Chains A and B, each alone.
Chain A
Amino acid sequence: MARNLGFLVVALLVLASSCESAIFSPVSDSHRSAALELFSPVDGSFGSLEETYEALKTFAVLGIEKKPDIRTSACASVADILQSTSSALKDLFHALRVNGILRCDLKNEAFRDQTSVVDVHLGDADKIFRSIKALSQSDGRWRLSSNNPESSNDAAGIALETLAGVISLASSEIDHSLIATLKNDIAKLFDGIERYDDGTCYFDEKLVDARGHHGPLSASASVVRGITAFAAVASESLNLPGEKILGLAKFFLGIGIPGSAKDLGSVPLILSLPATVLSVTKKDQLRVRVSTVLGSSAPPLSVKLMQIFISGSKNASIIDQKLKFDPDNSVHVLEKLPPNVNVGNYIFSFEVVFDDPEHKKNYVTGGRTKVPIHFTGIIKIDGAEIAVLDSDLGSIETQKKLELPGENAVALSANHLQKLRLSFQLITPAGQAFKPHQAFLKLRHESGVEHIFVVGNSGKKFEIILDFLGLVEKFYYLSGSYEIQLTIGDSVMENSFLQPLGHIELDLPDAPEKAARPPPQPIDPYTRYGPKAEITHIFRAPEKRPPRELSLAFLGLVLLPFFGFLAGLVHLRANLKIWPKSTVPATFAGLFHLGIAAVLLLYAFFWFKTPDTELIVGRSLGMDILVLSIAKQEDKKLVLCQPTSSFVFVALHIAEGGPIGPNGRPIKESRRTTSSTALPTFLIYVRIRTQKRQEKLNTRKNKRNPKENLRKRKGDKRNQDLEPSTSRKRPRDISKPESEDDVENSRSLSLEENFTFSDTLMALRMMRAQFPHIEKVSVEPFVLQSQLYSSIKDRTQVDRELESLRRDKLLRMFKLSTGQDDHAIMFTEDYLNQIERVVRRMEEKKQNDLTVFEWFKMHVIKSKLDTSISHQELVKVRKHQNQALLY
């Protein structure tokens, strides 16, 4: 097997280096150098003995003389293994094989132990032989085991090799009848050989068994090995058909393997040609070489050219011409080509004749050898011309001569009533007409549509006539320029070409509606997937502006009539001093002029503060509303402008609260616009933060709570948000009665606060005001939370605002005992009043423990804000208080 592998590797390598087709060349130097390259020793040895054996065997088979010098190292390792008593059987096997090739000088002592092992003689060789023979099949193939019914050629090879071994080891002579049947089997095996047309023979392997499929190569090698082994031990000649031996040798050569078919009884001789493509023009000579498979020279013989077949036809011309032997190069040369050989493909039939008839016994030639040979040559192109003909008369309108092959650039024009004619002649070097494999005329439209026509030949002349009238449909009615391209090519034509001839301008009629559209041309994948052209942005060119001086001059010119107008007014002594005396007209007049001034002011704002200005134009109630909101980042001013029927109302509403919503948050954009569109009164609403107003408010706050001012200065926004509520809370925190002034102040403040308060508080106040006052029932007003929910859309907002109000101790919430999840909301103020009222009533009833109310009012209400206060909490508060008292 290992040997087989080595051959396989060589085969693959050789296959890669040179690919021979039908011509079998003997093993050449290229094979040998490849083998030398493959088996190159590292540090003077091949590693394992198995590899060494493969290398040595390959060298021996290929007949390589210049072996790498590995003898000493290999012999040393062989001696080592043979001397050691503990060597594995496999190593011993390889060592002996290597020794068989190298024939090392081993000391006899080293062998002594081993010889006893080797010297085994099979006592009952006949029995073993029979048992192996039992596996053979009637067609010559063998089975691998008695259990396996499938037979194979591979198994036959193995069996033959084994039987050869059995014969060699047999102590007594094997029964002749057995060997005779075995020979018969081998003959049958060769009957089942497969053949190629070129004489190659091989053993095919159809069986696919558990060992994997063995291809023809493996099967053939196995059979050849088996037969070789058998032939070596068998005393009689095998009488194998020489033709088949040669076929096997060719098979191995054809796939690059130099099979050892030489040992099959007779040496096959391989007839090979260094070149099978010969140029007639260059007058190449036909050379034939005859050698053995491994390339060694053949015995004296002569080669005869027997027959010449013209490829593709059955005609054969019989020639009996002997080739002249050139002893220098050891080739046989055909000095003069037969006269009927021309440019083209031929099959030459050679026969090898031995000078000494004795050689016939030892060598196999395989009868006649057929070799395909190609004769090439330069084809002369004559009388090439292209013409446009008139259809009716056939008269030539334009005619151009062409130089082929060569540069041509004809320019023709034709309409659909005319014809195009192209004609030429092809002449071989021998002066005969030549018919190329390909002769095409191609017309290619600008849009990429191509039409290909085959140029036919009539006798010697090649001619094509394109009648455009019949071709308009095929041309898709595409008028315009068509490129003409001529292709003439053949494998034996040395000057094959594909050339543009020029172009023809076709004037075809317009396409009717039902005409077929030209097929879409295949898109070049590069244009589809390749990089696109870089995008360059083209910007609009800036408008041409007039010179500055001109514009300014015209500005002055435009103003001039106005001054003229004023001057005219003065000249006419117009009365400009009319100003109404009475109040109402005077107000309206003032408002009118103020309105105009405001509009102009807006224009001015718009002009000077364009980046900070948003212009919102909306519509409401079918009238235009111009909302100019001049928004600066810090100070937002909201301006609503609406023209009324005859003039513009201008109202400046200056408010500190202004668009700032509850808790000091600015009104959201959406809310502002909706309110503006929903407002039925049309005002120009300008909110300007005036310093004066600010100061007034500040002083008022300062008077009440200087701490808040401090807090405000810190700039804490949250504190600012809570600011109004804390200021409200304060008067109620103080238990002592307030001064009258303060009360008044707080009242006016509460009015103002009404603008700025949260919706929840507003709703609460309104509901409180609506609480029924009944004389006899002494309950302070309270509001249910569910009421609040129903009156304000956003429940989350209600919850949030209630929570903040509760934290501010403005409200108190009570769980109701109605069982529903509802709460009563009471203002802290009212709650305190209620307590007072209860206390008063209890005083009337003369109850003593009233201090608890006072204590509750003083300590619990302030600190405990939840709806329920637990007992533990109350105890804790009490304790703290006691401790505080102690200290």
Chain B
Amino acid sequence: MGRSATTKDAQALFHSLRSAPPTATPNNLKIIDLYIVFAAVTAVIQVVYMAIVGSFPFNSFLSGVLSCVGTAVLAVSLRIQVNKENKNLRIYLQSVLLLILFSAIWYFIW
């Protein structure tokens, strides 16, 4: 019973996503979304590879997955700040971009 409800919810979600008018979300948010999805999918593929083959070069696996996840998280934070609906945040686009870039570089260097 519960399972069918969740599947129904998911169906409804996808339907709403698909049927939403292209203008509803601004284009830059869509790009960020795309980037997040890209990062997440890459991470998932690596995890799957690990599950199948094993985590022999564990460092490689760790760095690969964590960099993907990290960039995704950073991109999510960027998206939150860029989103115009969050009006309670005082946002200067330039500084936000710089901040995100800076944190991304630090993230990768570490």
A 535-594 contacts with B by CB, 8 A: 543-546, 550-551, 554, 557-558, 560-562, 564-565, 568-569, 572-574
B52 contacts which chain A residues (CB < 8 A)? Answer: 546, 550
Q: A624 within 8 Å of B by Cβ?
A: yes
Query: Does the CB pair B56–A565 fall under 8 Å?
Result: no
Query: Does the CB pair B54–A544 fall under 8 Å?
Result: yes
B54 contacts which chain A residues (CB < 8 A)? Answer: 544, 546
Query: Does the CB pair B30–A564 fall under 8 Å?
Result: no
- Sorting the interface of chain B by its residue count into under 10, 10 to 19, 20 to 34 or 35 or more gives 20 to 34
Docked CA distance A554–B27 (Å): 31
- Interchain nearest-CB distance for B31 vs A (Å): 5
Q: B20 within 8 Å of A by Cβ?
A: no
Query: Does the CB pair A558–B102 fall under 8 Å?
Result: no
Query: Does the CB pair A558–B45 fall under 8 Å?
Result: yes
B101 contacts which chain A residues (CB < 8 A)? Answer: 646-647
With contact pairs A545-B56, A546-B54 given, residues A565 and B98 touching in the complex (Cβ less than 8 Å): no
Query: Does the CB pair B34–A645 fall under 8 Å?
Result: no
B 29-59 contacts with A by CB, 8 A: 30-31, 34-35, 37-38, 41-42, 45-46, 49, 52-54, 56
- Interchain nearest-CB distance for A797 vs B (Å): 39
- Cβ-defined partner of A546 (8 Å) among B53, B102, B109: B53
With contact pairs A558-B42, A646-B98 given, residues A565 and B35 touching in the complex (Cβ less than 8 Å): yes
Docked CA distance A422–B41 (Å): 83
- Interchain nearest-CB distance for B58 vs A (Å): 10
Query: Does the CB pair B45–A562 fall under 8 Å?
Result: no
Query: Does the CB pair B27–A572 fall under 8 Å?
Result: yes
Docked CA distance A554–B46 (Å): 8
> What's the tally of chain A residues with a CB closer than 8 Å to chain B?
24
B38 contacts which chain A residues (CB < 8 A)? Answer: 561-562, 564-565, 568
Q: B105 within 8 Å of A by Cβ?
A: yes
Which chain B residue has the least Cβ–Cβ distance from A543? B56
Q: A6 within 8 Å of B by Cβ?
A: no
Which chain B residue has the least Cβ–Cβ distance from A559? B42
Docked CA distance A646–B94 (Å): 13
- Interchain nearest-CB distance for A609 vs B (Å): 20
- Interchain nearest-CB distance for B86 vs A (Å): 21
- Interchain nearest-CB distance for A850 vs B (Å): 74
With contact pairs A572-B27, A572-B31, A643-B109 given, residues A561 and B42 touching in the complex (Cβ less than 8 Å): yes
Which chain B residue has the least Cβ–Cβ distance from A563? B38
Q: Mark A633-665, 1 if CB is under 8 A from B, else 0.
A: 000000000010111000000000000000000
B41 contacts which chain A residues (CB < 8 A)? Answer: 561, 564
Docked CA distance A557–B64 (Å): 14
A557 contacts which chain B residues (CB < 8 A)? Answer: 45, 49
Docked CA distance A643–B49 (Å): 33
Query: Does the CB pair B53–A550 fall under 8 Å?
Result: yes
With contact pairs A545-B56, A558-B46, A561-B41 given, residues A568 and B34 touching in the complex (Cβ less than 8 Å): yes
A562 contacts which chain B residues (CB < 8 A)? Answer: 38, 42
- Interchain nearest-CB distance for A262 vs B (Å): 103
Number of A-B contacts (CB under 8 A): 56
Docked CA distance A646–B103 (Å): 9
Query: Does the CB pair B46–A565 fall under 8 Å?
Result: no
A 396-442 contacts with B by CB, 8 A: none
Query: Does the CB pair B45–A561 fall under 8 Å?
Result: yes
Query: Does the CB pair B109–A624 fall under 8 Å?
Result: yes
- Interchain nearest-CB distance for B70 vs A (Å): 16
With contact pairs A550-B53, A646-B98 given, residues A569 and B34 touching in the complex (Cβ less than 8 Å): yes
Q: Mark B69-110, 1 if CB is under 8 A from A, else 0.
A: 000000000000000000000000000001001100100010
Docked CA distance A554–B50 (Å): 10
B53 contacts which chain A residues (CB < 8 A)? Answer: 546, 550-551, 554
Docked CA distance A560–B35 (Å): 13
B31 contacts which chain A residues (CB < 8 A)? Answer: 568-569, 572, 574
Docked CA distance A543–B49 (Å): 16
Docked CA distance A624–B110 (Å): 9
With contact pairs A544-B56, A554-B49 given, residues A646 and B27 touching in the complex (Cβ less than 8 Å): no
A560 contacts which chain B residues (CB < 8 A)? Answer: 45
Which chain B residue has the least Cβ–Cβ distance from A551? B53
A546 contacts which chain B residues (CB < 8 A)? Answer: 52-54
Query: Does the CB pair B102–A646 fall under 8 Å?
Result: yes
A574 contacts which chain B residues (CB < 8 A)? Answer: 27, 31
A 357-377 contacts with B by CB, 8 A: none
B37 contacts which chain A residues (CB < 8 A)? Answer: 561, 565, 568
Which chain B residue has the least Cβ–Cβ distance from A561? B41
B105 contacts which chain A residues (CB < 8 A)? Answer: 643, 646-647
Which chain A residue has the least Cβ–Cβ distance from B105? A643
Docked CA distance A749–B56 (Å): 58
Docked CA distance A554–B49 (Å): 7
- Interchain nearest-CB distance for A79 vs B (Å): 110
Docked CA distance A624–B109 (Å): 9
- Interchain nearest-CB distance for B79 vs A (Å): 14
Docked CA distance A562–B45 (Å): 12
Query: Does the CB pair A645–B102 fall under 8 Å?
Result: yes
Docked CA distance A19–B56 (Å): 81
- Interchain nearest-CB distance for A760 vs B (Å): 42
Query: Does the CB pair B30–A572 fall under 8 Å?
Result: yes
Docked CA distance A558–B53 (Å): 15
A561 contacts which chain B residues (CB < 8 A)? Answer: 37-38, 41-42, 45
A 440-455 contacts with B by CB, 8 A: none
Docked CA distance A810–B58 (Å): 63
Docked CA distance A6–B54 (Å): 95
- Interchain nearest-CB distance for B3 vs A (Å): 29
- Interchain nearest-CB distance for A555 vs B (Å): 9
Which chain A residue has the least Cβ–Cβ distance from B46? A558
Docked CA distance A645–B105 (Å): 10
Residues of B within 8 A of A (CB): 27, 30-31, 34-35, 37-38, 41-42, 45-46, 49, 52-54, 56, 98, 101-102, 105, 109
Given contacts A543-B56, A646-B101, A647-B101, 7 further A-B contacts (CB under 8 A): A557-B49, A561-B42, A562-B42, A569-B31, A569-B34, A643-B105, A647-B105
Shortest Cβ-Cβ A-B pairs, 8 listed: A565-B38, A546-B53, A568-B34, A561-B41, A554-B49, A543-B56, A561-B38, A561-B42
Chosen A-B contacts, 19 in total, with CB atoms closer than 8 Å, are A546-B53, A550-B52, A550-B53, A551-B53, A554-B53, A557-B49, A562-B38, A564-B41, A565-B35, A568-B34, A568-B37, A572-B30, A572-B31, A572-B34, A574-B27, A574-B31, A643-B105, A646-B98, A646-B105
